[in-house]
């Protein structure tokens, strides 16, 4: 947040996305801003429905429209040029979602791994077929044979045994963990600058989860990628991210470097979250759930969305006006009136 502009990979400002449903309008994203710098990883954390995935999908412009509709804001992405060519800054929201420019950015510059390794691959084509498809699409300098060699190499790199044989395996012949590894191989196939991982380990068991996280970290360093890691698991995000962003009901509550956020959470919501998880050092007697319940997704908030559940709420302040981002340190921002000064 203090670094120079030139290593900025992506800058999201005031992103607003609505879901127009029969029951009403869901404000899925309500002015979300953040940035990701090159080689860094941003962890996004929040409860179900807080807008984590929609944020990621909006960056790639793959949110299902309808019902999702981008209302406003800006997503500026630095798109690196091919060797020797100048890079350019692209305003993602100005592009046509299925247009040529946007399609050339997908997978080549931003790739994504998904939560469900079981369904992320089509069941009727081999893993290799689906990886090679991406390579052929974005790396025209490679022919079919070279693409296949690259797919095998990547499968080996992500820890799939006998890659030269399993490249011709169908997804149903692999276990969930293996499928997620294959998915990672596919995501890396075109050397993306940003890898979005949307809860990639939620559907896996804990031992596999640890392996996948380890793999992602080493690959991030090896490929020099930036990463956006989405999860509802605080421990996992703490493991993966340099910076962390806490989201609640489509808004960013707090944004800080990992250490600051873990050592000194400022927002009452973050603090409440921290109190609700067990710690391995046993430093607390009992877990405290966050008071109240999540408001209806259809409700509209004039003030802070956390107002109804907040223990520090200030009447006639927090419920009247939306708290802006206050800067607590060069790398720590919080959307709460408690930190006005």
Partner 1 sequence: MLAFIVRRLITIIPLLILISIVSFIVIELPPGDWVETRVQQLKLAGATVDDTEIQRLNSQYGLDKPAYQRYFRWVTNMLQGDFGYSFQWNQPVSEILIERVPRTMLIAVLSLIVSWLISTPIGILSAIKQYSWIDYLGTFISFIGLATPGFLLALILAYGALNILGFSPLGLNSIEMIDAPMSIAKLVDLAKHLVLPLIIVGLTGTGVTIRVLRANLLDELKKQYVITARAKGLTEYQLLMKYPVRMAINPLISTIGGILPALIGGEQLVSIVLSLDTTGPVLLRAAIAQDTYLVGGIVMILSTLALFGSLLSDIALASMDPRIRFGGTSK
Cα four-point dihedral sign 95, 101, 104, 109: negative
Instruction: Return d(Cα 229, Cα 41) in angstroms, integer.
Output: 7
- Is 326 a binding residue for partner 1 by CB under 8 A? The answer is no
Alpha helices by DSSP H, the chain? 52-60, 100-105, 127-138, 144-157, 163-166, 176-188, 206-223, 234-240, 258-263, 268-275
Helix (H, G, I), strand (E, B) or coil at 334: strand
Q: Residue 8 gets which letter from DSSP?
A: E
By CB under 8 A, name the one of 105, 151, 154, 195 that touches partner 1: 105
Helix (H, G, I), strand (E, B) or coil at 113: strand
- Is 172 a binding residue for partner 1 by CB under 8 A? The answer is yes
- Is 276 a binding residue for partner 1 by CB under 8 A? The answer is no
- Interface with partner 1 by CB under 8 A: which range of 19-27, 56-64, 253-261, 263-271? 56-64
CA 126 from centroid of its chain's CA atoms: 27
For 187, phi then psi, to 5°, come to: -65, -35
The side-by-side arrangement of strands in the sheet containing 226-231 is: 110-113, 194-198, 226-231, 41-45, 243-248, 251-257, 332-334, 326-329
Tell me how far, at minimum, the Cβ of 195 lies from partner 1, in Å.
12
Complete DSSP assignment for 241-310? -SEEEEEETTEEEEEEEHHHHHH---SHHHHHHHHTS--TT--SSS--PPSS-PPPTT---SS-TTGGG-
Instruction: Return d(Cα 143, Cα 17) in angstroms, integer.
Output: 40
By CB under 8 A, name the one of 134, 228, 237, 256 that touches partner 1: 134
- Is 90 a binding residue for partner 1 by CB under 8 A? The answer is no
Q: Residue 326 gets which letter from DSSP?
A: E
Closer by beta carbon to partner 1, 190 or else 328: 190
By CB under 8 A, name the one of 3, 122, 218, 284 that touches partner 1: 122
Tell me how far, at minimum, the Cβ of 193 lies from partner 1, in Å.
14
- Interface with partner 1 by CB under 8 A: which range of 38-46, 130-138, 152-160, 319-327? 130-138
- Is 65 a binding residue for partner 1 by CB under 8 A? The answer is no
Residues in region 141-170 near partner 1 by CB under 8 A: 170
- Is 124 a binding residue for partner 1 by CB under 8 A? The answer is yes
By CB under 8 A, name the one of 54, 111, 197, 290 that touches partner 1: 111
Closer by beta carbon to partner 1, 137 or else 314: 137
- Is 70 a binding residue for partner 1 by CB under 8 A? The answer is no
- Is 181 a binding residue for partner 1 by CB under 8 A? The answer is no
- Interface with partner 1 by CB under 8 A: which range of 9-17, 112-120, 144-152, 153-161? 112-120
Residues of this chain that bind partner 1 (CB under 8 A)? 60, 62, 64, 98, 103-108, 111-112, 114, 116, 118-125, 133-134, 137-138, 170, 172-173, 186
């Amino acid at each position: 947040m203090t670094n120079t502009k030139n290593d900025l990979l992506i800058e999201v400002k005031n992103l607003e996305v609505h879901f127009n449903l029969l029951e009403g309008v869901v404000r899925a994203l309500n002015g979300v801003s953040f940035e990701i710098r090159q080689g860094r990883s941003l962890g996004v954390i929040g409860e179900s429905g807080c807008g984590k995935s929609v944020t990621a999908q909006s960056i790639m412009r793959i949110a299902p429209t309808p019902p999702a509709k981008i209302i406003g804001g800006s997503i500026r992405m630095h798109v690196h040029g091919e060797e020797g060519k100048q890079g350019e800054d692209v305003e993602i929201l100005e592009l046509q979602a299925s247009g040529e420019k946007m399609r050339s950015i997908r997978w080549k510059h931003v790739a994504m791994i998904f939560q469900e390794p079981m369904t992320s691959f089509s069941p009727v084509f081999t893993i290799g077929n689906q990886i090679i498809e991406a390579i052929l699409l974005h790396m025209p300098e490679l022919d079919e044979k070279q693409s296949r060699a690259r797919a095998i190499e990547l499968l080996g790199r992500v820890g799939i045994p006998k890659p030269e044989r399993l490249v011709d395996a169908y997804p149903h012949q692999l276990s969930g963990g293996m499928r997620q590894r294959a998915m990672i191989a596919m995501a890396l196939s075109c050397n993306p600058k940003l890898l979005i991982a949307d809860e990639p380990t939620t559907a896996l068991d804990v031992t596999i989860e640890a392996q996948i996280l380890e793999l992602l970290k080493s690959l991030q360093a090896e490929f020099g990628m930036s990463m956006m890691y989405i999860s509802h698991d605080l421990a996992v995000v703490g493991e993966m991210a340099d910076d962390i962003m806490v989201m609640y009901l489509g808004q960013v509550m707090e944004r800080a470097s990992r250490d600051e956020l873990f050592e000194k959470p400022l927002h009452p919501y973050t603090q409440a979250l921290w109190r609700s998880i067990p710690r391995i050092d046993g430093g607390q007697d009992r877990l405290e759930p966050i008071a109240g319940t999540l408001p209806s997704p259809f409700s509209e908030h004039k003030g802070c969305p956390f107002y109804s559940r907040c223990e520090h709420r200030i009447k006639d302040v927090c419920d009247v006006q939306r708290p802006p981002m206050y800067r607590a340190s060069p790398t720590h921002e919080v959307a709460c009136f408690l930190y006005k000064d």
